[in-house]
Structure 1
Amino acid sequence: MSALVSPRRALVRRATVVAAAAVTLLVTALPEAASAHGSAADPPARAFDCLRRWSDNHQAPEMASQDPMCYQAWQADPSTMWNWNGLYREGVQGNHQAAIPDGQLCSAGRTQAGRYAALDAVGRWKATPKSRNFSVNIFDQAKHGADDVRVYITRQGFDPTRQQLGWGDLELVSRIGNTPAAKWQPAANGVTLSVDADAGARTGHHIVYTIWQASHMDQSYYFCSDVVFPAA
C-alpha cells in the first residue's frame, strides 16, 4: 500500500487525458444541482452513477428490475440524485471518523438532513470495471480546489452486497495534499483532478471511498464508488 501518489509515467498521463475527456463529455450532459459543487465522476459515485443512467427516464418501471439499488434511491428521495454534487459536511476539521459513523460512510453520516441515506443501502450496486492500477477522477464545478484528497478501497474479503461499510473495512491507497484548482485539468463547467490508485491484488466487487477536502472552507466531500477488479 502506498500512502502517496507516485510520479505519473507517460502511459498513465495519456490515460488521464482520455479519462478527463470522458468526464467532460459526461458532466456536460448532466443537469446541474441548485448549488454547484462536485463529485467523483470516474469511477462514478453512487448518486452520480444513478443520475447518469436514469436522469432522462427516472420514472421508468424497468429500473426496479434492471437497477434495483438506484431504484430504491430514487424512491427514497429523488433529490439524492438531482443533488449529486452536494454530498458534503462542514466543520469536520479533518476528523472524518469521528464525524461519520460506521454504516453511514456513503451518506457522509446522513448529511443534509438524511438526503443521501439511500446511498448506504447494502446490495448489488452497479459496479464499474477497473484495472488494479487506475485513477479516481473528481469533477469540481465550483473550482474549490483541494487541501487534501484520500482514496480508500475496501479490503479483500469485504462483500459490499451483504455488508455495511465501516471504517475498519477500508485501506488507504492514495493521498495528495494541497492542489489549487488552477492545477486541476480544465473541463466543461468546471475542472477535474485525477488521483492514481493501486488496488494491489484485490479482485471482484469493491467500494472505492474518496474524501475530498475542499480548499475554500472546511468543507469535505465523501464518495462511494462501486468497482469490479479483474480475477487473478
Structure 2
Amino acid sequence: MQTSAHAAPRRALTVLTALAAAVACMVPLAGSASAHGSIVDPASRNYGCWDRWGDDHLNEDMAEEDPMCWQAWQDNPNAMWNWNGLYQNNVNGNHQAAVPSGTLCSGGHAEGGRYDSLDTPGEWKTTSIGDNFTLNLYDQASHGADYFEVYVSKNSYDPTSEPLGWEDLDHIKTTGSYAPAQDIQIPVSTSGYDGRHVIFTIWKASHMDQNYYICSDVDFG
C-alpha cells in the first residue's frame, strides 16, 4: 500500500524534539520553535526524508538506498528538520508570481533557499495511491485553512528528469475552508493517471496570509 513509513505524526514530533537536541551542535534548527505543518500522507518530499532517515541521517547507505533524500540532507539538513515550515507569507493569492515554474517544490526558494533541494528531479520515493485518495495534512499549530488547491502532474511530465512547473500541472480541486485542527483530511478524486506523478498542494492557512507549497511523490499503479 503506502511505501512511506507513515508513523503517527504526534509520535514523530516527539522524536523530532529529542533528535533536535541531540544534533543541535551540528544542525541549526531555524524556526523549530514555531512549527506549522505539511502533507504527511502521501508524504511530502521533505517529510518523507525526515520520516525515513531522521533518526539515521548520517548513514551513508542512504546515498544508494534513497539518493534523492541523500542529496537533500547533504544540501541542507534543515529542510528536513523543518519539514513543517515550507511557506511564504503575504502572497495575496498570486501563487504563480510568488513561486515561479521550476521552484514549486521549494515554495519559490522559500526561507532563503532552505528547501531548494526539493526541486531536484529524480526518483523520489513514492506513495502508492488509487484514483480516489485522501491527503492528510498534519498541522501542529492548528492554523486551519482558507482553502487548499490540489494539482496532479500531467501524464506528459517526467518528475525524474525535470523540475516541476505550473505548465506541468492539472488542477484537480479547490476546497472550501477548514476549521483549526491538527489533522485535516482532503478527499481527492481523479481519473486517467497511472505510474509516477507529483501531487502539488497549496495550503492557504487561516490565521494570516501564509501559504504552503507541498510536493508529494505518488504512484497511481
Q: Shorter-normalised TM-score: what interval?
A: 0.7 to 0.9
Structure 2: 5+ residue runs without aligned partners? 18-31
SS of match in other structure, 1:40:
strand
Alignment of 1:1-232 (within 5 A): 25-30=8-13, 31-32=16-17, 33-181=32-180, 184=181, 191-230=182-221
Structure 1 residue identity aligned to 2:96:
Q
Three-state SS of the structure 2 residue aligned to 1:34 is helix
Whether the 8 Å contact between 2:196 and 2:217 is mirrored in structure 1 is yes
Contact 1:174 1:196 in 2 (8 A): no
User: 2:148, 2:203 within 8 Å by CA — same for their partners in 1?
Assistant: yes
Q: Deviations over 1:94-126 (max 9, x none)?
A: 110011111000000001010000000010000
Structure 1 segments, 4+ long, off by >6 Å, are none
Identity between Structure 1 and Structure 2 (%): 48
Residue in 1 that maps onto 2:25:
none
Q: Name the TM-score, length of structure 1 as normaliser.
A: 0.84
Identify which of structures 1 and 2 has the higher relative contact order when contacts are C-alpha pairs closer than 8 Å and 6+ apart: 1
Question: In structure 1, how many angstroms separate the alpha carbons of the residues matched to 2:11 and 2:189?
Answer: 29
- The 1-side partners of 2:10 and 2:33 are apart by 15
The 3-state SS of whatever aligns with 2:33 is: coil
Confirm or deny: 8 A CA contact 1:174 1:195 kept in the other structure: no
- Across the aligned residues of Structure 1 and Structure 2, the Cα RMSD in angstroms comes to 1.6
Post-superposition shift, 1:24?
7.0
Equivalent position SS for 2:97: helix
Amino acid at match of 2:43: P
User: What amino acid does structure 1 have at the position aligned with 2:209?
Assistant: D
Q: How many residues align?
A: 202
Q: Distance in 1 between matches of 2:42 and 2:117?
A: 19
TM-score after normalising by structure 2? 0.88
Between the aligned partners of 2:70 and 2:116, the Cα distance in structure 1 is: 14
